[in-house]
Amino acid sequence: MVVQVLVKAAYGAPDKLGDCPFCQRVLLTLEEKNVPYQLKLVNLSDKPDWFLEINPDGKVPVYKDDDDKWVPDSDVIVQIIEEKYPEPSLVTPDEYSNVGSKILPRFVNFLKSKDPTDGAEQALLDELRFFDDHIKEYGPYVNGDHISAVDLSIAPKLYHMEVALGHFKGWKVPESFANVHAYTKLIFSRESFTKTKAAGEYMIAAWAEKLST
């Protein structure tokens, strides 16, 4: 049985891949492991009954393999995939598993901030500086020469940061963070990433909706 994955459809374009970084994380994991899968897009603006029967919480991603049980939560899903398809290994050492974990909340806080003196931008810069220092010492990926699970979690969030902050605030990662720039260039150019990323226009539309509420 082919693996099945339910992911978010694009805001305003239900036939296109949506902007969910957690969904992309799962798809990246499957792509990097060369696991065949069947993708189904779910319109979260008008959740169909069949989807709510599968996951009453109404959240994506949701995953099913040959045990015929639907599983939500990207953390759980990628662990299942790693255990069932151990090669190539994407295991991240425990000491690196939380690297970059604060990038998403820091970037979202800054994106939503309307007060330039509230420290939101500096908090994001501090987190990016930590990430830049880590890549400088251990790169090119978080765990050295080989991509691992933590990269597949961070990369979609960095992509959201680049697109959303660039569009809504005209903001870019400072050039002084050369290792962050090298990292994003490297990982965004991987075939797995280009296959699974949402188009920038759909990401902007989704963030515009979030920021208006």
Catalytic residue among 20, 26, 142, 206: 20
Q: What is the three-state SS of the chain?
A: CCEEEEEEEECCEEEEECCCHHHHHHHHHHHHCCCCEEEEEECCCCCCHHHHHHCCCCCCCEEECCCCCCEECHHHHHHHHHHHCCCCCCCCCHHHCCCCCCHHHHHHHHHHCCCCCCCHHHHHHHHHHHHHHHHHHHCCECCECCCCHHHHHHHHHHHHHHHHHHHHCCCCCCCCCHHHHHHHHHHHCCHHHHHHCCCHHHHHHHHHHHHHC
Query: Is-catalytic flag, 23?
Result: no
Q: Which residues are catalytic?
A: 20
